A and B are shown apart, each in its own frame.
Chain A
Amino acid sequence: RKEVEQDPGPFNVPEGATVAFNCTYSNSASQSFFWYRQDCRKEPKLLMSVYSSGNEDGRFTAQLNRASQYISLLIRDSKLSDSATYLCVVNVGTYKYIFGTGTRLKVLA
């Protein structure tokens, strides 16, 4: 099993739709989880950290399921500007953070 696994997509959704991505991780000792966003040929930028109890930031909701070892990202009311690759990041060591392959999202007008 890969350390961090994501469905590469692409997910093509209409504006206003709700879309969800999952990310599975293999290391049960992982403690830190993040969603990053990457636009084409740009650096990854933090979208949100993922907390045990789940957390929300505007249209974005992140959840952690430790029992099944996955995290999720829900985007409500998708905007054209949400089109990007969404990267799941998980620590597999104290200072070793591994990226998933990323899930491409395209929001269509």
Chain B
Amino acid sequence: EPEVTQTPSHQVTQMGQEVILRCVPISNHLYFYWYRQILGQKVEFLVSFYNNEISEKSEIFDDQFSVERPDGSNFTLKIRSTKLEDSAMYFCASQGAATGNTIYFGEGSWLTVV
């Protein structure tokens, strides 16, 4: 079964550093998402991306965050100047028009900011 893959699975970074989380969505999917889940809390929507631009974003997705699909296969989330409160699991997801809107999630990247 096709799957969404994410790297790294776990990253520890110092406060103030930049982090890039990478995702390879399911091929032929058209819509891409980033979500985050702080430990013990709900899964929160960050951003959706289609046709090389942001479709929707939440209030969490401020100027500190950016997304990019640099080469037609990877989908990245960049966090500039990380804060302690950015520590969370970040899930990438993809969705294809032919799948009846089901969203498939990667296994997540666990980010720890120290």
Residues of A within 8 A of B28 (CB): none
CA distance A94 to B106 in the complex (A): 21
Q: Which of A9-17, A39-47, A61-69, A76-84 contacts B (4 or more CB under 8 A)?
A: A39-47
**What secondary structure prevails in chain A residues at the interface with B?**
strand
Name A82-103 residues within 8 Å CB distance of B: 87, 89, 91, 93-102
What is the size, in residues, of chain B's interface with A at 8 Å between Cβ atoms? 25
Q: Which residues of A contact B103 (CB under 8 A)?
A: 34, 46, 89, 97
Closest to A99 in B: B43
Interface pair B44/A99, CB less than 8 Å apart: yes
Contact between A43 and B91, CB atoms less than 8 A apart: yes
Q: Which residues of B contact A (CB under 8 A)?
A: 31, 33, 35, 41-45, 48, 50, 55-56, 58, 89, 91, 95, 100-108
Top 6 A-B pairs, shortest CB-CB distance: A95-B48, A99-B43, A43-B105, A96-B56, A95-B55, A101-B42
Chain A residues in contact with chain B, CB under 8 A? 32, 34, 38, 41-46, 49, 87, 89, 91, 93-102
